[in-house]
Amino acid sequence: MSRKILVLPGDGIGPEITREAVKILNACREAGLEASVEEGLVGGAGIDAHGVPLPDETLARAKAADAVLLGAVGGPQWDKIEDLAKRPEKGLLGLRKNLNLFGNLRPALLYPQLASASSLKPEIVAGLDIMIVRELTGGIYFGQPRGIEERDGEKVGFNTYIYAEHEIERIGRVAFEMARARGGKLCSVDKANVLEATILWREVMERLAPEYPDVELSHMYVDNAAMQLVRAPKQFDVIVTGNMFGDILSDAAAMLTGSIGMLPSASLNEQRQGMHEPCHGSAPDIAGQGVANPLATILSVAMMLRYSLEAPQLAERIERAVGSVLDQGLRTADIAFEGTAPVSTQAMGDAVLAAF
């Protein structure tokens, strides 16, 4: 059965990093992956071409695809747009919501070759391997009512943090399954001492626990989780949390590794259709210079193969190839240590291809 892959390069460094990832994708096709690859517009690129961050055509093609590979969206030229519906981010949020990609997997993995890039002491982060499971289509990101309006003679801005049981349950199951397949430990992060929405969250996680007797479930308040990530991150195996806390904690966790240019992510729906993208942003300051690190995007192709295209062997081949270029000492500027000459985006992509 032939699969459909839609590539959405987006903005900033998006086009140059996805270009390298597509090379690897093509190598996978030569290695037996039956898939077609096409490209579309999203984010600022969508705004510039069609006036909207998520053109109808892009959405239709994304829905018809088995997997989407996204570069990154956003940049200063669209930052002044006040209407949230017309900003590049809305392209991303619209894809997540319309494809129902509620399950966001964000690994924070320290590559031993890059251990010294971390701002944390080596003994604190050596061997770090956390998987953050973030709910991606609910919570305060999408809750209604929301807006800015006049009340009692002044403006008020408001959003709604809301979760229904079924939303919590389905992300809970993704996380329990993930913990089962990994180290067997699941930490659910909430603010159940203050927020009712997260009291329900904790309740549903507790209710699921007996179905996964092989998984050890714990709970942590979000403020404490932010502290523990800094203090002793290796205590965590899998973390599950809502959309907003997941946004904050997954970025903090990613930064613990010191090399966010290495970290991929997957966003999946019930059918395992997925959008796969690097954790880093569009880095407008270095866009178009050919210096960006394509490895997170290449590793996002690996996640795509593993989670959406049922091709785990190819995923492993990519991951091994990335490990091998790191072993060879190849470094783009973001992960280069003093004294090493950095390689270009393209040279890095070519090296992974050669090692594949």
Which residues are part of a known binding site?
96, 106, 134, 223, 247, 251, 281-293
Those residues whose C-beta lies under 8 Å from the C-beta of residue 198, and which sit 6 or more positions away, are 190, 191, 192, 242
Which amino acid, one-letter code, is at 6?
L
Residue 34 interacts, among ligand IPM, a copy of itself, none and using kind-specific CB cut-offs from 5 to 8 Å, with none
d(CA 46, CA 168) in angstroms, rounded, equals: 32
Based on the number of CB atoms within 10 Å of its own CB, is 150 exposed (0-12), middle (13-18) or buried (19 or more)? exposed
Strand order in the sheet with 67-72: 35-39, 3-10, 67-72, 274-278, 264-268, 103-109, 129-135, 238-241, 185-190, 216-221
Of 60, 64, 164, 354, the one binding a copy of itself by CB under 8 A: 164
d(CA 92, CA 263) in angstroms, rounded, equals: 18
195-224 binders of a copy of itself (CB under 8 A):
195-201, 222-224
- Least distance between ligand IPM and beta carbon 64 (Å): 23
Q: Which one of 51-59, 85-93, 178-186, 283-291 is the stretch in contact with ligand IPM (CB under 6 A)?
A: 85-93
Q: Which is nearer to ligand IPM, 236 or 245 (CB)?
A: 245
Of 92, 175, 197, 292, the one binding ligand IPM by CB under 6 A: 92
- Interior/surface letters 195-209, b for 16+ CB within 10 angstroms, e for the rest: eebbebbbebbeebb
Whether 192 and 221 have beta carbons less than 8 Å apart is answered as yes
- Least distance between a copy of itself and beta carbon 348 (Å): 22
Q: How far is CA 163 from the centre of its chain?
A: 21
Residues annotated within the binding site for NAD(+) are 281-293
- The interface mask with ligand IPM, positions 265-304, x = CB under 6 A, is ----------------------------------------
Catalytic residue numbers, as ranges = 141, 191, 223, 247, 251
Q: Establish whether the linkage from the previous residue to 145 is cis, with ω within 30° of 0.
A: yes
- Least distance between a copy of itself and beta carbon 17 (Å): 19
Whether 313 and 31 have beta carbons less than 8 Å apart is answered as no
Of 49, 60, 64, 84, the one binding a copy of itself by CB under 8 A: 84
Is residue 194 within the footprint of ligand IPM (CB under 6 A)? yes
Cβ atoms within 10 Å, residue 6: 23
Tell me phi and psi for residue 220, to 5 degrees. -145, 140
Q: Which is nearer to a copy of itself, 118 or 345 (CB)?
A: 118
Q: Which is nearer to ligand IPM, 177 or 247 (CB)?
A: 247
* Binding positions for ligand IPM, rule: CB under 6 A: 89, 92-93, 193-194, 223, 247
Q: Which residue ranges make up the site for a copy of itself (CB under 8 A)?
A: 74, 82, 84, 87, 89, 93, 119-121, 124, 140-141, 143, 146-148, 151-152, 154-166, 191, 193-201, 222-224, 226-227, 229-232, 244-245, 247-252, 254-256, 258, 260
